[in-house]
Amino acid sequence: MPAFDLPLPELERHRPQLDEPADFDAFWAETLHREGQREPLLSVRPVGTGLRLVRTWDVTFRGFAGDPVRAWFSRPAGAREPLPAVVEYIGYGRGRGFPHERLTWVNAGYAHLLMDNRGQGDQYGDGGGTPDPHATAPGGPVPAARGLLSHRDHHYRRLITDAVRAATAVRALPGVDPAHVVAVGNSQGGGLALAVAGLVPDLAAALVTAPFLCGVRRALELTDEGPYGEIAAYLAVHRGAEEAAHRTLAYTEGVSFARRARAPVHFGTGLRDTVCPPSGTYAAFNRYGELSGRPRPDREIHAYPYNGHEGGGGRHVRRQLDWLADRLARRGVRGAPLPDAADGADRADRAG
């Protein structure tokens, strides 16, 4: 499909107005304060994986309302010192699958926590193991529309809280440097990583690719692809629910989280992405850190003109690896991987 969103020069200036709720900060402070009073970890159990160079644990931590949330935690076998930790959030409809499926970050030398998605895991991949016991409020059957009529009941209130609690839980795991926790994600996972960047003030870095829940109003006007199409399908049946739905979604708007973020950030987007339109990614990037109360955080974005939701694929992951290693090296982080020299093409098209 040809590019369908704004031209790149307009995307680079795109700063849409937000209908941000006046109690946005109070709502999230209340939600997270309640959850933050509990010890994060419920169980940590070593598991066999058939991998000789990686050690893995099956972790359960407390998420929203103290609910148990599953995760895989991995470290390079033989690592002796505490390592920076990458917390990875996965895409819409996926579960955590098997621990041998996502090895990039642990093979790069990081401790790695892969969070399961509550109430998801039945659409793609190899499933998950975290139910959502609160999915009974009015709304649609799919995650994006569960509890859509109230911001207190919405699925993403619970999932974002889980994501923040994962960033807390990883600090208590063996062999982790608690001062250097990084949030990483693509698509829904990118939206969760961005929310964590806005809600966790001491995050070391964030890597956000094709984030869901950014520029939501415009995305609902542009695309019928899921998950936005699932929200539209619900509203097509429940005529007159638009105002309540938009109010709910304003509390999970990624641009609002981006405005509050303080950590260095690396973005990526495909300009032909009809699942998470690039205007949402650029809206978050352009307003990232504007409320941080300090000089704007270090920001970088890469756009792939001929790619859709797959974005830059392996090339983008290599850019992420080099960018993160470089940022941690600048901070003198012990145990962090050393950056490789970026190639000429990478140096030529850096932006931000």
Domain definitions of the chain by residue range: 8-134+155-216+255-348
| Distance of alpha carbon 20 from alpha carbon 9, whole angstroms | 26
Residue 231 has what pLDDT? 96
| Distance of alpha carbon 188 from alpha carbon 177, whole angstroms | 26
* Cα end-to-end distance, the chain, whole Å: 27
| Distance of alpha carbon 277 from alpha carbon 229, whole angstroms | 12
| Distance of alpha carbon 183 from alpha carbon 69, whole angstroms | 17
Task: Give Cβ neighbours of residue 224 (< 8 Å, ≥ 6 apart).
Answer: 232
Say how many C-beta atoms besides its own lie within 10 A of residue 56's C-beta.
23
What mean pLDDT do residues 304-323 have? 96
| Distances in whole angstroms, Cα of residue 254 to Cα of each of 192, 194, 283 | 8, 6, 9
Do residues 159 and 93 make contact, with C-beta atoms less than 8 angstroms apart? Answer: no
What mean pLDDT do residues 193-210 have? 97
Do residues 206 and 182 make contact, with C-beta atoms less than 8 angstroms apart? Answer: yes
Say how many C-beta atoms besides its own lie within 10 A of residue 290's C-beta.
14
| Distance of alpha carbon 136 from alpha carbon 350, whole angstroms | 45
Phi, psi of 172 (to 5 degrees): -95, 0
Q: Strand, coil or helix: what is 76?
A: strand
Task: Give Cβ neighbours of residue 176 (< 8 Å, ≥ 6 apart).
Answer: 82, 83, 85, 111, 170
The percentage of the chain sitting over the pLDDT mark of 70, rounded to a whole number, equals 94
Do residues 168 and 193 make contact, with C-beta atoms less than 8 angstroms apart? Answer: no
Do residues 296 and 314 make contact, with C-beta atoms less than 8 angstroms apart? Answer: no
Residue 345 has what pLDDT? 43
Q: Which of 152-156, 171-175, 290-294 has the lowest mean pLDDT?
A: 290-294
Q: What letter would DSSP give residue 171?
A: G
The pLDDT tens digits of the residues spanning 328-341 come to 998 878 667 777 75
Residue 341 has what pLDDT? 57
- Burial state string for 100-121 with b = 16 or more CB within 10 A and e = fewer than 16: eebbbbbebbbbbbbbbbbbbb
Catalytic positions = 187, 273, 309
Do residues 213 and 256 make contact, with C-beta atoms less than 8 angstroms apart? Answer: no
Residue 261 has what pLDDT? 98
In this prediction, residue 229 has a pLDDT band, given cuts at 50, 70 and 90, of very high
The pLDDT tens digits of the residues spanning 55-99 come to 999 999 999 999 999 999 999 998 989 999 999 999 999 999 999
Q: Which of 11-25, 90-104, 124-138, 176-190 has the lowest mean pLDDT?
A: 124-138
| Distance of alpha carbon 164 from alpha carbon 197, whole angstroms | 9
Residue 332 has what pLDDT? 79
Which residues lie across from 182 on neighbouring strands?
86, 205
Say how many C-beta atoms besides its own lie within 10 A of residue 335's C-beta.
18
Q: Please choose, from the candidates 154, 262, 264, 275, the residue with its C-alpha nearest in 3D space to the C-alpha of residue 214.
A: 275
Q: Does residue 347 register a pLDDT over 70? A: no
Q: Which two tokens stand for residue 9?
A: 């020069």
Taking the domain 8-134+155-216+255-348, which CATH number applies?
3.40.50.1820
The pLDDT tens digits of the residues spanning 119-134 come to 998 888 888 999 999 9
Residue 1 has what pLDDT? 55
What mean pLDDT do residues 91-118 have? 95
| Distance of alpha carbon 175 from alpha carbon 113, whole angstroms | 12
The pLDDT tens digits of the residues spanning 233-268 come to 999 999 999 999 999 999 999 999 999 999 999 999
Q: Which of 2-11, 24-33, 59-68, 309-318 has the lowest mean pLDDT?
A: 2-11
Say how many C-beta atoms besides its own lie within 10 A of residue 125's C-beta.
17
Q: Exposed, middle or buried, 27 (CB in 10 Å: 0-12/13-18/19+)?
A: middle
Q: Does residue 272 register a pLDDT over 80? A: yes
What's the whole-model pTM score?
0.94
Residue 294 has what pLDDT? 79
**What is the gyration radius of the CA atoms in the chain, in angstroms?**
19
